[in-house]
Chain A
Amino acid sequence: MNRDEKFIFTSGAKKKLFITLGIGVLLLAIGIFMLANQSAHHGEGHSHGSKETAHAVTADSSSEENAQTGHEQGAHANTIQEEGHADSAVSHSSNDTAGLHATGEQASMNSDSDTAVSHMTAHEEVSASKEATVNSSETHHTEHAGPAQGPAEQEVTGHEKAEHAGGGHHEVHWTTRLIKDLWLNNVFFAGIALIGVFFIAFNYVAWAGWSAGIKRIPEAFGAYLPIAAVLTIGLLLLFNHDLFHWTHHHLYEEFLADGKTKNPEYDTLLVGKHAYLNFPFFIIRTIVYFAIWISLWLTLRKFSKQEDITGDEKFHHKSVVWSAVFLVTFGVTESMAAWDWLMSTDPHFFSTMYGWYVFASWFVSGLALITLFVVILKENGYLSFINENHLHDLGKFNFAFSVFWTYVWFEQFLLIYYANIPEEVGYFVQRLKTDAYTPIFFLVLIVNFFFPFLALMTRNAKRQGVILKVVCTGIILGHWMDFYMMITPPILGQAGGLDLTFLFVEVGMTMIFASIFLFTILTALSKVGLVAKNHPMLGESEHHSVF
């Protein structure tokens, strides 16, 4: 074992990252061009009357057309405000009656209507204020209710969401999609960087020996946290209205400017949540999360470096203590970050499993990336002491936490499916009963559960670098898609399905983020020794063997 091994960030590797970055920028530029063209095309459609727009709602169902529908409807809500509100009331109730069980299940038609009724009554409290404002535009109301019974139900749902996301005041502009992608990648990579710190922390606390030799890899992940902090806070300050519906002030005013008319946008639920979901507190929380994470990462990093120089074991003991501190704060801050950054994109929805669910997704992606780093570094001649026993442990981690993700994911799904409460079930109606998202919904499940579960089930598969490389790449892509599924529907409505522009906009943006992320952590990795040479458990790591 070469204890003084150093990772050299070669110019060849840098070049590859720059090429990735370049391709990403190019793809994104093409994507933006395509999006801008599409939206220019839409501009012509805006001059048509509201009837034609309504027609467009019933007409098409292909995912690409869905994008346009959502778009036009958003604009429509903007131009003809009063009718927009009436629509919103209708689509609310149609959305809820759709439920998860109502459609396509002949066997239980009898009680179907019961469920529907109870749902509507349950919802009446919520949208009472909205219903109250439906006045002069009653005719338009019925006009829309007609198609809502038919196959166009989903589009109407989409319309509601599109309007919802735009707050009824702004249309879903094509730039929203870019902002959404920035946010998606920012959250995804910030989470992976955080998981790097989490990994070394729980290994310290558990006194794990096997991972001592590879500890510098997850440690380097933390170097991305400061960049993530700047990006997150910047994006929140600049684009909070695009990302978070609840940031709009008009939702919290019960009466309009004249002081008598009820504000149709007034949202009792959000008013109730205002003590927590208000922008100043929100931004303070985000700053606190990053302050805690970055300072604890710096502490652990500092001890690790000093241990390299002095070889004093006291740094190990200090690391154990500070790791324990990190784990406790991580448990709280990670859950809260998940609520803030992801769950509040759909502010009416809440799930107590959400923090765990996001943690599981981040953790598997982080583990998969650590595994990829180990395998690829070994292929390039580094870390000669790493053998199949270490790979076996990493493989077990990937396998176990893929199953853990599925467990948490399914627990959230099953309870919501079972209870069928409108506020909760909307989350899955939006993703499971729509043309745009249903394919991705099942794709995510296949890539994140069935693929790693079957591919890593046997002992031999976990001990082979090639299989691990394929599976881990799949896991990272799959969990990126999982985050895509969390963020896109509430922000873009039905316009977020997989289409041609996805290959340019989303893929390009992700390549840009990935290359910056990799560049940061490889630089951090090259600054200190690749092996923590005075780690007291290095010997155990070297002679590690598993049954």
Chain B
Amino acid sequence: MEKGNNFLVGIYDDEDVLLEAVGKVKKSGVKIHECYTPFPVHGLDDAMGYHYSNLPIAGFLFGMTGTICALTMMIGMMGFDWPMDIGGRPYIPLPDFIPITFELTVLLCALGMTGTFFVVSDLKPWGTPRMFDPRSVDHKFVMAIDLAANKQDAASITSILKNSGATEVNKKSFE
């Protein structure tokens, strides 16, 4: 079976049940693909074992790109391409450049991070986002389990999910 195509989806009614279920399911040796909740659930990161996100690193790199672009642009234009004397200031007055440098840094950082986030979380315009259960954007809490990543068969995982408090367990396949 190919990885990332066939899933079991446990549906939970309450975020506290989901939080406890994450611990129970992990304890029984099942690897969780991801949880989907309608709102941020405090403590879910810790329960899932997430400690770091690489998004800040992407943000830093995009931000530095912005800084370098802004400085190169302004120093190139004001210092070399077309030097202008403005009120007796030097041709490359760094204090004057700071606002634009700051703006471009923040702009590229924000756009880059948003773009990265979209790509990483399958929201890219050229792809179809994977929706495990449409109700997860409204009132249900969803735990997805990749069947290919686990050694147990679907039946035993289903019973584990049911025991942990899932109100229903569905199969979901993507092509």
**A residues in contact (CB < 8 Å) with B:** 99, 101-102, 105, 107-108, 110-112, 114-115, 410, 413-414, 417-418, 420, 459, 545, 547
Are A112 and B96 also in contact (CB < 8 A) when A545-B43, A547-B40, A547-B45 are? Answer: no
Are A108 and B95 also in contact (CB < 8 A) when A545-B42, A547-B40, A547-B45 are? Answer: no
Write out, one digit per residue, whether chain B residues 116-134 have a CB within 8 A of any chain A CB (1) or not (0). Answer: 0000000000000000000
List residues of chain A with CB within 8 A of the CB of B42: 545
- 14 example contacts (A-B, Cβ-Cβ < 8 A) are as follows A101-B88, A107-B91, A111-B85, A111-B88, A114-B88, A115-B87, A413-B95, A414-B96, A418-B96, A459-B56, A545-B42, A545-B43, A547-B40, A547-B45
Which residue of A108, A115, A410, A420 has the most chain B CB atoms within 10 A of its CB atom? A108
Which residue of B42, B89, B99 has the most chain A CB atoms within 10 A of its CB atom? B89
A414 to B96, CA, bound (A): 7
List residues of chain B with CB within 8 A of the CB of A545: 42-43, 46
Interface contact A108-B90, CB-CB below 8 Å: yes
Which among A413, A420, A459, A547 is the interface contact of B87 at CB below 8 angstroms?
Answer: A420
List residues of chain A with CB within 8 A of the CB of B85: 107-108, 110-111
A464 vs chain B, min Cβ distance (A): 15
List residues of chain B with CB within 8 A of the CB of A115: 87-88
B98 at the interface (CB under 8 A from A): yes
Which residue of A107, A410, A420 has the most chain B CB atoms within 10 A of its CB atom? A107
Which among A108, A114, A410, A413 is the interface contact of B89 at CB below 8 angstroms?
Answer: A108
Decide if the interface of chain B is mainly helix, strand, loop or mixed: loop
Write out, one digit per residue, whether chain B residues 8-51 have a CB within 8 A of any chain A CB (1) or not (0). Answer: 00000000000000000000000000000000101101100000
The 9 tightest CB contacts between A and B, nearest first, are: A108-B88, A115-B88, A111-B88, A112-B88, A101-B88, A105-B90, A108-B85, A545-B42, A107-B90
List residues of chain B with CB within 8 A of the CB of A102: 88
Interface contact B88-A410, CB-CB below 8 Å: no
List residues of chain A with CB within 8 A of the CB of B46: 545
A483 vs chain B, min Cβ distance (A): 23
Interface size on B, residues (CB 8 A): 17
A314 to B87, CA, bound (A): 61
Which residue of B42, B43, B45 has the most chain A CB atoms within 10 A of its CB atom? B42
Interface contact A414-B89, CB-CB below 8 Å: no
List residues of chain B with CB within 8 A of the CB of A420: 87
List residues of chain A with CB within 8 A of the CB of B83: 107
A431 vs chain B, min Cβ distance (A): 14
Which among A107, A108, A414, A459 is the interface contact of B99 at CB below 8 angstroms?
Answer: A414
Which residue of B40, B91, B95, B99 has the most chain A CB atoms within 10 A of its CB atom? B95
A111 to B84, CA, bound (A): 11
Interface contact A101-B95, CB-CB below 8 Å: no
Interface contact A410-B98, CB-CB below 8 Å: yes
Decide if the interface of chain A is mainly helix, strand, loop or mixed: helix
- A sample of 14 more A-B contacts (CB under 8 A), given A114-B88, A414-B96, A459-B56, is A102-B88, A105-B90, A107-B90, A108-B85, A108-B89, A111-B87, A414-B95, A414-B98, A414-B99, A417-B95, A418-B96, A420-B87, A545-B42, A547-B45
List residues of chain B with CB within 8 A of the CB of A410: 98
A413 to B40, CA, bound (A): 41
A102 to B88, CA, bound (A): 7
A102 to B89, CA, bound (A): 8
A417 to B89, CA, bound (A): 10
A420 to B87, CA, bound (A): 9
A105 to B46, CA, bound (A): 57
A532 to B157, CA, bound (A): 48
A42 to B168, CA, bound (A): 92
Write out, one digit per residue, whether chain B residues 88-123 have a CB within 8 A of any chain A CB (1) or not (0). Answer: 111100011011000000000000000000000000
A3 vs chain B, min Cβ distance (A): 22
List residues of chain A with CB within 8 A of the CB of B40: 547
A99 to B107, CA, bound (A): 34
List residues of chain B with CB within 8 A of the CB of A417: 95-96
Cβ-closest chain B residue relative to A420 = B87
List residues of chain B with CB within 8 A of the CB of A459: 56
A114 to B45, CA, bound (A): 63
Cβ-closest chain A residue relative to B44 = A547
A78 to B88, CA, bound (A): 37
Cβ-closest chain A residue relative to B99 = A414
List residues of chain A with CB within 8 A of the CB of B89: 101, 105, 108
List residues of chain B with CB within 8 A of the CB of A414: 95-96, 98-99
A108 to B95, CA, bound (A): 16
Interface contact B87-A101, CB-CB below 8 Å: yes
A115 to B95, CA, bound (A): 19
A172 to B63, CA, bound (A): 50
List residues of chain B with CB within 8 A of the CB of A418: 96
A433 vs chain B, min Cβ distance (A): 14
List residues of chain A with CB within 8 A of the CB of B90: 101, 105, 107-108
A313 to B21, CA, bound (A): 36
List residues of chain B with CB within 8 A of the CB of A99: 88
Cβ-closest chain B residue relative to A413 = B95
A459 to B53, CA, bound (A): 11
Which residue of A101, A110, A115 has the most chain B CB atoms within 10 A of its CB atom? A101
A112 to B46, CA, bound (A): 62
List residues of chain A with CB within 8 A of the CB of B91: 107-108
